[in-house]
Structure 1
Amino acid sequence: MLQGGSWFFSMAILIIPTCLANDLWQCICDGPGCTQDTCRGRKCFVTIENADGFTKQTKGCFSEHLMEQCKSTVQGTATTKCCDADMCNGNLTIHQAEPDPPAKKQLQLILIPLLVILLLLLLVTVYFCRARWHHRKRLLTRLHELGDTDMLKASIVGDSTLGDLLDDYCTTGSGSGLPFLVQRTVARQITLVECVGFIASDMTSRNSSTQLWLITHYHESGSLYEYLQRTTVDPEGCLWLALSIICGLVHLHVEIFGTQGKPAIAHRDLKSRNILVKKNKQCCIADLGLAVMHSQTSDYLDIGNNPRVGTKRYMAPEVLDETIRTDSFESYKQTDVWAFGLVLWEIARRTVINGMVEEYKPPFFDVVPSDPSFEDMKKVVCTDQQRPRIPNNWHSDTIVSALAKIMKECWYQSPSARLTALRIKKTLHKLNSPVNNFKEEC
């Protein structure tokens, strides 16, 4: 019995240490604290650390007191993974996401707010476009519902229908761009108050629309704008056209006293479309719809509510940036001189010099769109202070070279520095040319 009991006791002693030893695993160890190739611990681990663009792998074992580090999570730049088996960290792998490079992170920080801003702008644009579309739809519906009598009543009591339509649809000011419906609407709201010139007027109906007619002298060459597109001139013909225009402008600008007199007039919309070419190739100024009058006796000046009127392409700098002296009649005469310089440039461009001539182009054709906005013209004329280009070959002809000098003196940024219409007329008369016989008719 004693021997049997001793055998049992000795077996128990051998078994217990073996079980305690199995709680510690033998692991591969290659870290800084390793003294041998292996170590024993409660857990085997593998750690991957990213630092300064390099990846470092460490293997070892954890004791009981370091068990909280044995997690398959990212802590800063290190990732740790553990296992329970002898030498299990030899083949243990960690799938770690590549960290974003600094440049990529910076790009993300820039792009995300930018995309949010673009999205907001898109939403705002869509909102305003829909609002504008609904506004126009309401206006058109209202026009269809109103009859002739109602429309006339609306204009009498000051309804804003006409003004709204013109604000929505007007472009260059020539009237040619208005939709057919709007032209009908305008005609229905016009009443002839007083005949101030021309030959006659009439009202007719065509295709269910009302048309108001103004009958004037017929000039078969049409406007100067149309004439220059199909016709070239020689230097003498260029001077003839220029002199006839400036004579008309002087006549407008000067007040004539007496029973057959007239007040001084500033045109405010001088351009090649508003100048007619007669059969004898003289020009006459037309379309005084935006003109203002001034008399020294009454010193009265009526310009309406908006001083920034006319055709944007021909507007002077002080009109575009709204620095014009609205209480001074001289200011409006100076804007006419600016526009005359541009018309003179249009004529000179179609003048044959040494067998060379350029195709017709409107002023500033190379720097603004075909229908420029106020901001387009303001940037070119006021901010950049650009002017139409003067070709070098213009200086090879005495007449055209003199006209180029006049143009530049019409385009001074300061209105007071520009030539007067009367000074331009006198300068053109002094040119040594057969056209000088025209002065008796001017």
Structure 2
Amino acid sequence: MALRRNVTTVIGIAIAVVSVLAVARGVSVKLADGPTTTKCYFYNSGSDCEVNKSCKNQTEECGNAQSNEMTACFAVWKNTSDNGFVMQNQGCWDNGNDCLDRTQCISDNTVTDNTFFCCCIGDLCNGEVSFHPAVTDSPQSTKGSGSNPTPVLTGDPLICTIIYSLVPISIFTIVTIVIYWMCRRYHYTSLVSIQTSEPSPLTTPLTPTATDFQPLQLIEVKARGRFGAVWKAQMNSRYVAVKVFPLQDRQSWISEQEIYSLPNMQHENILQFLGTEKRGEGLDTAFWLITEYHQRGSLYDYLKANLVSWNNLCHIAESMARGLAFLHEPCGAKPPIAHRDFKSKNVLLMSNTTACIADFGLAVKFDPGKKLCENHGQVVGTRRYMAPEVLEGAIQFNQDAFMRLDMYACGLVIWELVSRCSAQDGPVDEYMLPFEEEVGQAPSLEEMIEAVVSHRKRPAFRDTWMKHSGLASLCETIEECWDHEAEARLTAGCVEARLSQLLRTSNQVITTTDLNHTNSSTTPLITDLSNGSTVKESSL
């Protein structure tokens, strides 16, 4: 592997050298055959001589005439409605390679404000200037100034030499890179499929007292994401999840490990972290992050295949909000943490459908008295879950602003839950991602900006949801989570409290319904949140 890397490096250096030599050869030939420039007309509209009217027809000597550096003359003029063409500057132009094969000072186009620029090779060639638009055949001669366009050379032997030299070299470079990438992917697949090298010990103990290495056997890939693949693995008699990071994503592995290893990070609604390992050597190195395994998988996978009852919806959403509230709030030595990639794929479900939050590769912690790294201000996360202030690049660089981003995404995830709830008054739609109806399954950043920022769109609420009092109440909470104004969004603690109240009310109504089956006395009516109907409250 090291040999392949060295060979690739040598090939790259050789290609660079050949390219430079080809260009240098073409330039040197052109310098030898073409005219030279020793002096040019000089004019500066801002100089003192302009005040004294003594600038006209001044010349200056060009210093690079005898060197290998090409020197040219230049002129800058402006076209005004009042005075016509007005000269701004004239003089020597050191970067004469831009002006090869131009013996007359002719501008091809304008850049801004009717300003023109031209350069040429030859003594005093900038005395007469002209504008020759690329779309017309007749130039306009004038005494004016111009913009600073990039000269366009057509039919130049130098350009042909460069093209003929670089095209095959570029093709060879691309083929080499593709072959290298394919070899690297092959070795990486072999690494995670059949482990042949001895692993290094776990950097974090699996239990408070057990520090000895425990063997792991990868079984099957459960998911693939931005930073690698997640495997179901067996460690002794238990199943665990192993997130495998390739070598180039080592920093993501370190970042996620640092978040999991924070003090007081253990919580029922945070994925349990077990340890890390380093596997392989050199370019074959892979980094493993080992966590608890949950058979039900992610909330995204669960909702695609299952409907949820009203009680189950409340339980999942409430436990999810509880985990998010734990992240956002300090807890002893644990600082506040913003997830920054909150979505249904990063919420796992335990066997009893309790939610736990996973994937902290993009998470950021807020240590007291410390400023955030500038890298944390970059746009990260999943496009369809990005808040409007992220999409339009107007996020505030502080703790509260980062927490509000998570809450916007939380509202979208709760919407996903509601969309698959069987308590709604009508047929349940097939699972759809947030904004899938509005922008499709693979929206571009521009499409998300247009939908979320320009038109302020949000995933739609169905009429059948509003006929269920509990779902209608939950939709209000969703709207307050994804409010366009970040400061108006609910906190995770507030969402948790609302969902807890909905869950308690639902359970109380169910208990009341059971009592009514054994009590036939006339009682007041209350709303049953579990199915949207009305039931009698028993008199005790």
TM-score range, shorter chain: 0.5 to 0.7
Amino acid at match of 1:292: V
1:420 Cα deviation (Å)?
A: 1.3
Amino acid at match of 2:495: I
1:175 Cα deviation (Å)?
A: 4.9
Instruction: Show the 5 A alignment for 1:30-429.
Output: 137=175, 139-141=177-179, 143=181, 173=226, 175=228, 186-187=246-247, 190=250, 195-196=257-258, 197=260, 198-204=273-279, 211-257=286-332, 261-295=333-367, 297-302=368-373, 304=375, 306-326=377-397, 328-352=398-422, 353-354=424-425, 356-429=427-500
Q: In structure 1, what is the Cα distance between the partners aligned to 2:287 and 2:334?
A: 28
1:315 Cα deviation (Å)?
A: 0.2
- 1:317-370, CA deviations, whole angstroms, 9 ceiling, x for partnerless residues? 0000100012x1111100100000000010111100246312111000112132
Kindly indicate whether the alpha-carbon contact (under 8 Å) linking 1:381 and 1:387 is maintained by their aligned counterparts in 2: yes
- Secondary structure, aligned partner of 1:215: strand
State the partner residue of 1:434. Answer: 507
State the partner residue of 2:535. Answer: none
Distance 1:235 1:283, change over 3 A: same
Q: Which runs of 5+ in 2 are unaligned?
A: 1-134, 136-162, 188-223, 231-242, 261-272, 511-540
Kindly indicate whether the alpha-carbon contact (under 8 Å) linking 1:314 and 1:339 is maintained by their aligned counterparts in 2: yes
Kindly indicate whether the alpha-carbon contact (under 8 Å) linking 1:308 and 1:319 is maintained by their aligned counterparts in 2: yes
Kindly indicate whether the alpha-carbon contact (under 8 Å) linking 1:239 and 1:399 is maintained by their aligned counterparts in 2: no
Q: TM-score, normalised by structure 2?
A: 0.46
Q: In structure 1, what is the Cα distance between the partners aligned to 2:369 and 2:509?
A: 37
Q: In structure 1, what is the Cα distance between the partners aligned to 2:245 and 2:169?
A: 23
Q: CA RMSD in A?
A: 3.7
Amino acid at match of 1:281: T
1:280 Cα deviation (Å)?
A: 1.1
Q: How many residues align?
A: 277
Distance 1:309 1:341, change over 3 A: same
1:253 Cα deviation (Å)?
A: 0.4
Amino acid at match of 2:361: G
Q: In structure 1, what is the Cα distance between the partners aligned to 2:356 and 2:407?
A: 16
Amino acid at match of 2:419: R
Q: In structure 2, what is the Cα distance between the partners aligned to 1:250 and 1:185?
A: 28
Q: In structure 2, what is the Cα distance between the partners aligned to 1:199 and 1:278?
A: 16
- Secondary structure, aligned partner of 2:288: strand
Distance 1:384 1:176, change over 3 A: farther
Amino acid at match of 1:434: N
* Greater share of residues in helix: 1
Q: Which moved more, 1:236-245 or 1:426-435?
A: 426-435
Kindly indicate whether the alpha-carbon contact (under 8 Å) linking 1:236 and 1:399 is maintained by their aligned counterparts in 2: no
Amino acid at match of 2:451: V
Kindly indicate whether the alpha-carbon contact (under 8 Å) linking 2:344 and 2:413 is maintained by their aligned counterparts in 1: yes
- 1:36-61, CA deviations, whole angstroms, 9 ceiling, x for partnerless residues? xxxxxxxxxxxxxxxxxxxxxxxxxx
Q: In structure 2, what is the Cα distance between the partners aligned to 1:144 and 1:377?
A: 33
State the partner residue of 1:46. Answer: none
- 1:101-122, CA deviations, whole angstroms, 9 ceiling, x for partnerless residues? xxxxxxxxxxxx9xxxxxxxxx
Amino acid at match of 1:269: D
Q: In structure 2, what is the Cα distance between the partners aligned to 1:346 and 1:294?
A: 29
Amino acid at match of 2:308: V
Indicate the percent of aligned positions where both proteins have the same amino acid. Answer: 33
1:232 Cα deviation (Å)?
A: 0.8
Distance 1:190 1:425, change over 3 A: closer
Q: In structure 2, what is the Cα distance between the partners aligned to 1:383 and 1:393?
A: 28
Amino acid at match of 2:371: Y
Amino acid at match of 2:473: A
Amino acid at match of 1:409: E
Q: In structure 2, what is the Cα distance between the partners aligned to 1:368 and 1:133?
A: 37
- 1:69-89, CA deviations, whole angstroms, 9 ceiling, x for partnerless residues? xxxxxxxxxxxxxxxxxxxxx
Distance 1:374 1:227, change over 3 A: same
Q: TM-score, normalised by structure 1?
A: 0.56
Kindly indicate whether the alpha-carbon contact (under 8 Å) linking 1:315 and 1:339 is maintained by their aligned counterparts in 2: yes
1:186 Cα deviation (Å)?
A: 3.3
Q: Which moved more, 1:191-200 or 1:267-276?
A: 191-200
Kindly indicate whether the alpha-carbon contact (under 8 Å) linking 1:271 and 1:339 is maintained by their aligned counterparts in 2: yes
Kindly indicate whether the alpha-carbon contact (under 8 Å) linking 1:275 and 1:284 is maintained by their aligned counterparts in 2: yes
Kindly indicate whether the alpha-carbon contact (under 8 Å) linking 1:255 and 1:264 is maintained by their aligned counterparts in 2: yes
* Greater share of residues in strand: 2
Q: In structure 1, what is the Cα distance between the partners aligned to 2:498 and 2:171?
A: 54
Kindly indicate whether the alpha-carbon contact (under 8 Å) linking 2:227 and 2:245 is maintained by their aligned counterparts in 1: no
1:427 Cα deviation (Å)?
A: 1.6
Distance 1:131 1:320, change over 3 A: farther
Distance 1:335 1:356, change over 3 A: same
Q: In structure 1, what is the Cα distance between the partners aligned to 2:297 and 2:434?
A: 20
Kindly indicate whether the alpha-carbon contact (under 8 Å) linking 2:335 and 2:365 is maintained by their aligned counterparts in 1: yes
Q: Which runs of 5+ in 1 are unaligned?
A: 1-112, 114-126, 149-170, 178-182, 438-442
Amino acid at match of 2:401: S
Q: In structure 2, what is the Cα distance between the partners aligned to 1:211 and 1:332?
A: 31
State the partner residue of 2:207. Answer: none
Q: Which moved more, 1:417-426 or 1:275-284?
A: 417-426
Kindly indicate whether the alpha-carbon contact (under 8 Å) linking 1:173 and 1:310 is maintained by their aligned counterparts in 2: no
1:144 Cα deviation (Å)?
A: 7.1
Kindly indicate whether the alpha-carbon contact (under 8 Å) linking 1:264 and 1:293 is maintained by their aligned counterparts in 2: yes
